[in-house]
Amino acid sequence: MKIALLGYGKMGQIIERFALERGHEVVLKISIDNTEDLTTSNLAKADVAIDFSAPDAALSNIYACFDANVPVVVGTTGWYGQLQEVKNECLSRNNSLLYGSNFSIGVNLFFHINKVMAKLMNDYPAYEVQVEEIHHTQKLDSPSGTAMTIAEGIIEQMDRKTEWVNELVGTQFDDIVKKDQLLIESLRIENVPGTHTVLYSSEVDEIELKHTAHNRAGFALGAVVAAEWLQNKQGFYNIADIFNFK
Ligand SMILES: NC(=O)C1=CN([C@@H]2O[C@H](COP(=O)(O)OP(=O)(O)OC[C@H]3O[C@@H](n4cnc5c(N)ncnc54)[C@H](OP(=O)(O)O)[C@@H]3O)[C@@H](O)[C@H]2O)C=CC1
Ligand SMILES: O=C(O)C1=N[C@H](C(=O)O)C[C@H](O)C1
């Protein structure tokens, strides 16, 4: 498979390593220094593109892939406000896109367990719930995409929560979190690849669900596997479409 890497930073470089190990070829690498190489004709040389760039670059990269009719796997977070618009465009133009806030198997299992737990906790209002995410200090978006997926999983299952609010610790946060709101607390600490915790606490005890990424390898391998899966498909997909947890 010929792969175009849109974004060649921390993730792009590890993805390249896994892609080569799995017998693929990287035919295009785009970073901020060579965005002029992101042309339709260069993209069209690839069987699939993998975007791990930046929140403000994702949308134009996606549309460049649509123009070149190249399936695109999007790992970049921080653009989900435009998700519906991108979905409509993808489907109306018969393109292919798969996105995911987190491509690691561990986190996708965690997403599933999180929903099961929230469904159980729906019957136990004595427990208050909160989400915490910790990432490295270069991260541009907050909350993390993974924390948003976790929060949406809880809200889907739990009648007493209707929306999430985010506090980036160390910045001004004047909101009073209402009973029906789910707090996502974001912390930024040097060199942390990604830690997500769901905390249920009552007056008598606490239950914590926690996922800690030791490094970025799980995200990167998952992105290559997703690209292999998407290669000959048409449509708009999420990473959850690859897994079939019962
Ligand atoms: N879904 C998942 O499983 C995961 C998602 N992510 C997400 O992936 C994204 C990238 O993460 P990471 O690799 O750590 O970030 P980095 O900052 O290390 O790398 C980003 C890359 O994108 C490039 N870039 C920036 N702007 C543009 C642009 N306009 N066009 C093309 N390339 C551009 C940067 O170029 P330059 O090097 O020149 O600055 C760099 O090569 C983030 O949104 C992050 O949240 C991260 C890990 C896992
Ligand atoms: O920026 C990162 O590093 C990560 N971003 C993703 C997110 O926003 O959830 C996934 C992972 O946690 C690492």
Judged by average pLDDT, the poorest of 16-20, 151-155, 232-236 is 232-236
Measure the CA–CA gap between 185 and 130, rounded to whole angstroms: 8
Residue among 71, 77, 74, 127 nearest 95 (CA): 71
Average pLDDT of the chain to the nearest whole number: 97
Would you state the pLDDT for residue 64? Answer: 98
3-state secondary structure 128-188: EEEEEEEECCCCCCCCCHHHHHHHHHHHHHCCCCCEEEEEECCCCCCCCCCCCEEEEEEEE
Range 176-191 average pLDDT: 97
Residue nearest to atom 1 of ligand 2 (CA): 139
201 Cβ contact list (under 8 Å, min separation 6):
127, 128, 130, 207
CA separation, residue 169 to residues 17, 46, 52, 227, 233 (Å): 34, 41, 25, 35, 41
Measure the CA–CA gap between 199 and 118, rounded to whole angstroms: 11
Find residue 59's DSSP bridge partners.
none
Range 37-54 average pLDDT: 98
Would you state the pLDDT for residue 244? Answer: 80
pLDDT at residue 104 is higher than 80 = yes
Q: Does the beta carbon of 101 lie inside 6 Å of ligand 2?
A: yes
Instruction: Catalogue all structural domains in the chain, each as residue range(s) with its CATH number.
Output: 2-102+217-241 (3.40.50.720), 105-212 (3.30.360.10)
The secondary structure element, H or E, covering residue 39 is none
139 counts as catalytic: yes
Helix (H, G, I), strand (E, B) or coil at 206: strand
Residue among 241, 244, 239 nearest 100 (CA): 239
pLDDT at residue 221 is higher than 90 = yes
Would you state the pLDDT for residue 107? Answer: 98
Would you state the pLDDT for residue 175? Answer: 84
Kind of pairing between the strands at 206-212 and 195-201: antiparallel
Kind of pairing between the strands at 235-238 and 96-99: parallel
Residue among 66, 98, 50 nearest 233 (CA): 98
pLDDT at residue 246 is higher than 80 = no
Length of the chain: 246
Ligand 1 binding residues, C-beta < 6 A = 6-12, 30-33, 35, 52-55, 57, 75-78, 100-103, 219
Range 59-72 average pLDDT: 98
For residue 120, the CA-to-ligand 1 centroid distance in Å is 37
Order the strands of the 163-168 sheet from edge to edge. 163-168, 181-188, 128-135, 195-201, 206-212
Tokens for 141? Answer: 């978006």
Would you state the pLDDT for residue 127? Answer: 98
For residue 57, the CA-to-ligand 1 centroid distance in Å is 9
At position 104, the amino acid (one-letter code) is S
Residue nearest to atom 12 of ligand 2 (CA): 194
